[in-house]
């Protein structure tokens, strides 16, 4: 796979895949791993980007020590010998600053800038702020909300007696997508094996799915659903309700959202 093909295969999940969680539940990234994802071959050059990011942090009146933590790793160099290797534990904000100071000729840098910009927002953005975002920014924002929404829905579904979560989620997709399962949607979109369909939706389609997710969770709680069959039926019903609302919004809009 050449460099261009590799960069085109990156998506927001790429950055989640290298995310780590410490013993206190705090997320962080290792600079050496981020270096690889951002297509920097030499540590020397990437550390130069890190230094620029640290300066940006200081100039914003924020302590760089809290976001760029020096760590020394032991790596094997052959024959069982080890040597120390410099690295950094980075906060999400530190990753954002690195992306902002990275080589903008790299497509993956633009992706990182958008991803970490949205993820570092500490409060819900207003409608006016949202309307000013680019489509990519809206997509990343909505994807983050659907991820959180699905996590919450899974907890509620579990309490409602759901054990087969693939069946439960497909019930919702079938309602929204006129009988299509997650696999059907993936095939229609031409996705590779194990690619997440939610990572390959536009902001409007993600918003429709988020509405399905939140309304299903609300209905499960309100109706005190206590069996898997009822939970699946509820999810399917909500999916159909959202689909109907989309169709009423207009044919072109519906085509973009739920493959009408």
Q: Establish if 67 belongs to a structural domain.
A: yes
203-222 and 165-176 helices, crossing angle to 10°: 120
Tokens of residue 211, six digits: 């509405």
Q: Establish if 124 belongs to a structural domain.
A: no
Q: Establish if 230 belongs to a structural domain.
A: yes
Question: Residue 95 sits in which domain range?
Answer: 3-119
Last residue of a domain, one of 79, 94, 119: 119
Last residue of a domain, one of 85, 119, 153: 119
- Which pLDDT tens digit goes with each residue over 9-57? 455 567 888 988 877 777 899 999 999 999 999 999 999 999 999 998 8
Last residue of a domain, one of 91, 119, 147: 119
Highest mean pLDDT among 30-34, 73-77, 148-152, 198-202 belongs to 30-34
3-state helix, strand, coil in the chain (%, to 5): 65, 10, 25
CB atoms within 10 A of CB 226: 11
CA separation for the pair 176, 199 (Å, rounded) = 17
Q: Establish if 52 belongs to a structural domain.
A: yes
- Which pLDDT tens digit goes with each residue over 166-196? 999 999 999 999 999 999 999 999 998 878 8
């Amino acid at each position: 796979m050449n460099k261009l093909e590799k960069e085109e295969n990156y998506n927001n999940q790429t950055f989640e895949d290298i995310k780590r969680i410490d013993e206190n539940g705090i997320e962080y990234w290792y600079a050496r791993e981020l270096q690889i994802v951002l297509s920097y071959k030499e540590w020397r050059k990437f550390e130069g980007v890190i230094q620029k990011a640290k300066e940006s942090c200081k100039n914003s009146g924020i302590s760089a020590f809290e976001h760029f933590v020096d760590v020394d790793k032991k790596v094997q160099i052959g024959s069982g010998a080890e040597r120390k290797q410099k690295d950094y534990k980075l906060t999400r904000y530190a990753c954002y600053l690195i992306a902002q100071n990275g080589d903008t000729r790299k497509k993956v840098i633009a992706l990182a800038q958008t991803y970490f910009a949205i993820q570092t927002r500490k409060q819900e953005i207003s409608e006016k702020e949202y309307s000013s975002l680019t489509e990519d920014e809206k997509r990343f924002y909505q994807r983050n909300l659907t991820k959180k929404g699905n996590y919450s829905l899974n907890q509620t579904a579990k309490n409602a007696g759901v054990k087969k979560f693939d069946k439960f989620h497909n019930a919702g997709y079938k309602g929204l997508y006129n009988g299509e399962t997650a696999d059907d949607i993936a095939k229609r979109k031409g996705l590779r094996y194990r690619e997440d369909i939610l990572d390959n939706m536009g902001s409007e389609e993600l918003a429709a799915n988020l509405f399905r997710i939140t309304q299903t969770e609300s209905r499960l709680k309100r109706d005190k659903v206590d069996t898997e069959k009822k939970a699946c039926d509820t999810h399917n019903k909500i999916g159909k309700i959202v689909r109907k609302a989309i169709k009423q919004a207009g044919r072109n809009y519906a085509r973009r959202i739920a493959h009408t």
